[in-house]
A = this chain, B = another copy of it.
Amino acid sequence: MLEKDIIAKYFSPLSANAFGADNLNDDVAVLGNIGNGLLAINMDTLVAGTHFFANDDPTILAQKCLRVNISDLAAKGAVPFGYFLSVALPRKTTESFIESFAQGLAIDQRNFNISLLGGDTVKTAGPFTVTITILGLLQDSRVPRRGDAKLGDDIYVSGTIGDGALGLLSHPEYRGNNGISAKYSRHLSHYLCPEPRVELQPIISRYANATMDISDGLLGDLTEILKRSEMGAKLDINRIPYSQETQYILANEKNILPQILNGGDDYEVLFTAKPEHSLSIEKLSQNLPFCLTKIGTITDGRSLEIIDEHTNLNIEQFNLSHSHSW
């Protein structure tokens, strides 16, 4: 069973009456007012051998664990303030590993102005496992959910797509067929330690309808927004933003595109907004340390239509037909 099918079948019913849980359709629960905002909470687990490699630098790994959680809050426009940490330690864990891991936490506590609030430390016969429950504040009473895309909305994506997926393929311990000949440190760095888009908060809070962070691939996560919103989209594939390094790889290895668009670990933000906010969003985006790109439009077609006039891509590779209905 796929994880999302387990959640839908067995865990969603357990949140049916829970205020703020959105039936687990969204990663982030939004509870009542606390202090100056609404309390937003997200929980993510990372397991050695599944979400990272057992020999990854523990300092950078600690930052990744925090950042994938911060990324979920950032996609909702919530500002993190603290977190609970559970670590399950294999018996062979050294003290220097723990020390380095704690250093990474300390670095990102300063970077993101957050504190450790509590947690648990246990032993395991299995791999190193980290669970973080992160708490943040939503300044706005409006909570942008995955299911909030409206007909005619522009579709935006932050940063560049594919750096995480190519980073995984570039990882020295990656054992699959990596399919790429050129490897760039940019990609590997992004895989090891993504940049949650906390700077998007003013834009998300004011203008976003549907939002989510891209952790399971652009196409799959866009499809998730469309399904939850009961909408379709036209996606202009030629507008999808890539880093220079990714463009170079794509120019030489076209077959890698499906992995870039379906691969995980982007941790960019995907959101929709009314076209009338286009100029305001463009203006606010001038100050961002990353680009913000309009890549398509929400339609009422209940399908994801990929516009690719200029490149004649082999769309079947994406596990999506030109008109993939639900």
Residue A118 CB within 8 A of the other chain: yes
**Contact of B122 with A50 in the complex, beta carbons under 8 Å:** yes
**Contact of B34 with A133 in the complex, beta carbons under 8 Å:** no
Name A169-200 residues within 8 Å CB distance of B.
none
Residues of B within 8 A of A225 (CB): none
Name A89-127 residues within 8 Å CB distance of B.
89, 95, 98-99, 101-102, 105-106, 109, 115-127
- The 22 listed contacts between A and B (C-beta, < 8 Å) are A6-B98, A7-B121, A10-B98, A11-B121, A15-B116, A18-B117, A21-B115, A21-B116, A27-B118, A31-B135, A34-B39, A41-B117, A41-B133, A43-B85, A45-B120, A47-B122, A49-B124, A49-B125, A51-B122, A88-B129, A124-B126, A131-B131
A192 to B169 alpha-carbon distance, docked (Å): 44
Contact of A120 among B101, B116, B126, B131 (CB under 8 A): B131
Residues of B within 8 A of A21 (CB): 82, 115-118
**Contact of A86 with B131 in the complex, beta carbons under 8 Å:** yes
**Contact of B86 with A43 in the complex, beta carbons under 8 Å:** yes
Contact of A122 among B1, B18, B45, B102 (CB under 8 A): B45
Residues of B within 8 A of A47 (CB): 88, 122-126
Residue A295 CB within 8 A of the other chain: no
Residues of B within 8 A of A86 (CB): 43-45, 131
**Contact of B133 with A14 in the complex, beta carbons under 8 Å:** no
A222 to B233 alpha-carbon distance, docked (Å): 61
Contact of A127 among B1, B119, B120, B125 (CB under 8 A): B125
Contact size class for A? Answer: 35 or more
Give the one of A28, A35, A85, A129 with max B CB within 10 A. A129
Residues of B within 8 A of A17 (CB): 115
**Contact of A126 with B123 in the complex, beta carbons under 8 Å:** no
**Contact of B28 with A31 in the complex, beta carbons under 8 Å:** no
Residue of B nearest to A125 (CB): B49
**Contact of B116 with A14 in the complex, beta carbons under 8 Å:** yes
A105 to B88 alpha-carbon distance, docked (Å): 22
A45 to B121 alpha-carbon distance, docked (Å): 8
Residues of B within 8 A of A7 (CB): 121
**Contact of A84 with B44 in the complex, beta carbons under 8 Å:** no
Residue A316 CB within 8 A of the other chain: no
Query: Contacts A10-B102, A14-B102, A84-B133: A121 and B33 contacting too (C-beta < 8 A)?
Result: no
Name A28-58 residues within 8 Å CB distance of B.
28-29, 31-35, 39, 41-47, 49-51
**Contact of B99 with A10 in the complex, beta carbons under 8 Å:** yes
Query: Contacts A14-B105, A118-B24: A125 and B43 contacting too (C-beta < 8 A)?
Result: no
Residue A20 CB within 8 A of the other chain: yes
Residues of B within 8 A of A129 (CB): 88, 124, 126, 129
Give the one of A17, A46, A98, A133 with max B CB within 10 A. A133
Residue A276 CB within 8 A of the other chain: no
Residue A309 CB within 8 A of the other chain: no
Residues of B within 8 A of A35 (CB): 32
**Contact of A95 with B1 in the complex, beta carbons under 8 Å:** yes
